[in-house]
Amino acid sequence: METLKGALIGCGFFAQNHMHAWAAIDGAEIVALCDRDPDSLKNTAKAFDVDATYGDVAEMIAAERLDFVDIATTVTSHRPLVELAAAAGLNIICQKPFAENLDDARAMVKSAQQANRILMVHENFRWQSAVRAAISAIQKGEIGTPFFGRVSFRSAYDVYANQPYLATDDRFIIQDLGIHILDISRAIFGNATSISALINRINPKIKGEDVATMLLNHENGATSVVDCSYSTKRQPETFPETLLEIDGDRGSLRLEAGYKLIVHKDGTDQVFDVSPPLLPWVERPWHNIQESVQIIQQHFVECLRSGTNPETSGDDNLNTLALVEAAYLSAQENRTVKLDEL
């Protein structure tokens, strides 16, 4: 098959993972880069041997023959970039948070639908191989029908060193990290009908919240607790692992620290090592996230080939974004928020 040609928009810190992953994916290549920062653009082009570089997205789209764009910029630019790409007839994979608000997200989804293009959100936590192993076991019925779960991410890792803007945003942990953990809960239990959230700021040096605890009721009757923290000091440090406890009517499942998956059924435990592979370009402790970038981008390529809707499509991600907005509303008004309010 002909190799799909793409362009990366945004050459910042996390975009380097995108480029490493694209280099390892069959059937697609990045042929152009765009960034308003000339240094980031130049350094990325040199590191990955890309000749075509641009400071303007519209100019790049007009000059290059592209099949897709990979948008790895900050959230404020997502809507105009998605709409520009869709209007040009390009398929799109876009980093999270997908949009600043639900109205923008709905407009972005509509623009891709009207252009009959595929729009996928780079919501990569559910694509981590350890989490995929847990989801697969649940979907195969290993523990029966799930009725309760806890999805947890707690750490004191210094995430501000490489991304200092995280300390300056009014919204922090739910918008940046909790969105991933909420999406994992959706991947396991399906969509939620309501959410109750409590938030706190433990670190006095940041502006937003760094601790959040959320209770979700799901359409299928299940309940999940989603909790995240960047102020949990413990050893061993589990960053950046998501831990799971899932109860089903025939057994239970736990994804524990150190990538140990335990499936309990029929009175016995089965223990699996679901450690992510250490790919040539990754580094600990980020390797599980970095590997998931490659997995999700490969899924995007497969969807482009088959014309199927991605698992984390723009339309699907509206449900995750709605949970984020509802969580902040719940914390602000100290009440349970029903998702149909949004």
Helical H segments across the chain, by residue range: 15-24, 38-48, 57-63, 78-87, 102-114, 129-139, 173, 179-189, 287-306, 314-333
pLDDT at 1: 74
Q: What is the mean pLDDT of each run of 10 residues along the chain (342 residues)?
A: 95 96 96 97 98 98 98 96 98 95 97 98 96 98 98 96 89 95 98 98 97 98 98 94 98 98 96 96 94 97 96 97 98 98 93
Identify the sign of the CA torsion 113, 119, 120, 122.
Answer: negative
Tokens at 156, concatenated: 């004191």
Distance (Å) of CA 252 to CA 17, 64, 216, 246, 262: 34, 51, 19, 6, 8
Residue of 159, 177, 300, 293 whose CA lies nearest to 227: 177
Q: Tell me the whole-structure pTM to 2 decimals.
A: 0.95
pLDDT at 127: 97
Rounded Cα–Cα distance for residues 46 and 286 (Å): 23
pLDDT at 165: 86
pLDDT at 162: 82
pLDDT at 201: 98
* Structural domains in the chain, sorted by start: 4-117 (3.40.50.720), 126-281+320-341 (3.30.360.10)
Rounded Cα–Cα distance for residues 218 and 105 (Å): 22
